């Protein structure tokens, strides 16, 4: 069954939609790597990997920033909220959408965790999902 999701930045100038053939097309994961920590300003990043063609901006144009490790993030030039990110390999195939920017994120709950070796000591494991020591692919 197809899933239509919508999301926006804090000030709502950037709006986007996601059209998935099924919820399984999205892969939501936590990532405990240092790059995600820094970008999200928290102890982990939380994104949903979706096919590029399922993701579309409905309003506004994002600003972009490419960091040294090759990860590009798209964000709102007004409020600064990140909307999505992608590495060089994924650039023409996938978007990693910032989970908290979705209106109904619970429709695509986490399936796994990456870079668990960097997990903050007080952060428990998410039960019943996969756990990888490193690599985010
Ligand atoms: Zn904004
Ligand atoms: Zn990461």
The average pLDDT across 77-93 equals 97
Set out the domains of the chain in order of their start, with CATH numbers: 3-117 (2.170.150.70)
The average pLDDT across 133-137 equals 78
Give the number of whichever ligand sits closest to the CA of residue 101.
1
89 C-alpha to ligand 2 centroid (Å): 15
**Mean pLDDT score across all residues of the chain:** 96
| Spatial separation of the C-alpha atoms in residues 123 and 131, rounded to whole Å | 14
Give the number of whichever ligand sits closest to the CA of residue 85.
2
- The model carries a pTM of 0.95
The average pLDDT across 108-120 equals 97
Residue 137 confidence (pLDDT) above 90: no
Give the number of whichever ligand sits closest to the CA of residue 14.
1
The average pLDDT across 109-127 equals 97
136 C-alpha to ligand 2 centroid (Å): 7
35 C-alpha to ligand 2 centroid (Å): 6
Residues contacting residue 3 through CB under 8 Å, at least 6 positions apart: 18, 19, 20, 21, 22, 23, 25, 26, 107, 108
Stretch (H or E) spanning 36? helix 34-40
120 C-alpha to ligand 1 centroid (Å): 29
Residue 1 confidence (pLDDT) above 80: no
∠ Cα 52 55 60 (to 5°): 125
51 C-alpha to ligand 2 centroid (Å): 18
């Amino acid at each position: 069954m197809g899933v239509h999701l919508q999301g926006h930045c804090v000030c709502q100038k950037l709006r986007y939609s996601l059209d998935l053939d099924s919820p399984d097309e999205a892969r939501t994961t936590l990532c405990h790597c240092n790059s995600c920590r820094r970008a999200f300003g928290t102890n982990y990043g939380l994104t949903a990997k979706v096919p590029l063609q399922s993701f579309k901006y409905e309003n506004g144009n994002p600003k972009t920033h490419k960091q040294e490790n090759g990860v590009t993030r798209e964000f709102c030039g007004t409020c600064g909220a990140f909307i999505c990110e992608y590495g060089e390999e994924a650039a023409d195939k996938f978007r990693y959408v910032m989970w908290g920017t979705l209106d109904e994120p619970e429709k695509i709950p986490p399936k796994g965790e990456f870079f668990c070796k960097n997990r903050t000591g007080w952060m428990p494991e998410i039960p019943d999902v996969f756990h990888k020591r490193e690599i985010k692919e």
